[in-house]
Amino acid sequence: MPLKDTVVETVKAEAAGVSALTKQAIASGTYLYPFKGLIYFFTHRQLWKPLISRLLPLLSLSVGVVVPMFLFTFVFQLRVVRSALTRLVLAYFRYMPQAFFLQFVNGPLAWVSTIALVLSESAAIISALSKNFLIEDALVDTFDQVLVSENMTDLVKNGRELKTGSSLGRLIKKPFAIFSPQAVIRYFLYLPLNFIPVVGTAVFLVVQGREQGPSYHNRYFQLKSYTKAQKEAFIERNNPAYIAFGTAATLLQLVPGLSILFLYTNTVGAALWAVDLERKGLAGPGEDKTGNELSGGAAKKKEL
């Protein structure tokens, strides 16, 4: 088969796979949980304390990241995007019908891609710094408080002490890992996708959703006492659901000045999802991707 035909067939196959995965992600409905978390957060005042107690340093961090990012990187990245668009223009003008070119590429889209890129970079920096140095324990408290409020105290007791009246006590386990160099490298490897107008930015956001989605359930996996193998199997089996949740959560965190707030509300949404998993019996003690217990026992395959 000629190389051109091979490339076309490969692209078609990849597109079909992405389309099928997208349909599964939408069908899962988990993209709604970040928005449910937002509503739940504002209607349950007991969840406000961890955020309010750290509000000033978090706001300072947000301003200290977003403002310099726009001042010092926006113009540079806009030039890069425009340069990439120029190359696309020349390529399409030479090889493709002009009608297709005019519909696919136009100047104003460079602003869309660049703004989304700067906001994404800012959100990633804010998230990494705040999670590791400012609000790690606060996010754990928020997650656990939602579980306690939803009568999941037996689950919470696997990771912390509970005081009289089911108020939160001392942490026994701390689940959030330090932001890894591998995650930073993967993030920057996918950044060039933003040079593709609209479509590339959308793909970049979905990729970030795929990367970030499972991390919101780190505390849940710990409370379930999942091993590394059990956690990976559960995530793989429910990958579309985590992509849907992660993409919605990532989109919310792109809102300038509110990314920290959405870190909390996304955590609330993840906790509400965990509550539903428990009530529906969709998260057992840990199965492999075929539905068999990793400990050797048989278990019915379950999907979200």
pLDDT tens column, 289-300: 444 554 433 344
Q: Are 279 and 61 in contact (CB under 8 A)?
A: no
Q: 195 near 113, Cβ under 8 Å? A: yes
Element of type H or E holding 36? helix 33-43
In the predicted structure, residue 265 carries a pLDDT above the cut 60: yes
**CB-CB contact of 233 with 283 (8 Å):** no
- When mean pLDDT is compared across 77-81, 157-161, 186-190, the lowest value belongs to 77-81
What stretch of H or E contains 208? Answer: helix 199-212
Lowest mean pLDDT among 23-37, 162-176, 241-255: 162-176
CA atoms within 13 A of residue 89's CA, in its CB half-sphere: 12
Q: What is the phi-psi region of residue 178: left when phi exceeds 0, alpha when psi lies from -120 to 50, beta otherwise?
A: beta
Q: What is the domain partition of the chain in residue ranges?
A: 2-53+134-162+178-280
Report yes or no: 215 and 128 within 8 Å, Cβ to Cβ.
Answer: no
pTM exceeding the 0.85 threshold for the entire prediction: no
Q: Maximum CA pair distance of the chain?
A: 74
**Token representation of residue 232:** 């990976």
What is the reported pLDDT for 142?
92
**Per-residue pLDDT tens digits for 85-143:** 455 544 443 444 433 433 444 345 555 556 666 776 777 777 777 776 777 788 888 99
- For the segment 4-13, what is each residue's pLDDT rounded down to a tens digit? 566 456 545 5
Q: Indicate the Cα dihedral angle 216, 221, 223, 227, nearest 10°.
A: -150
pLDDT interval class at 203 (50, 70, 90): confident
Split at pLDDT 50, 70, 90, the class of 15 is low
Pairing of strands 160-162, 168-171: antiparallel
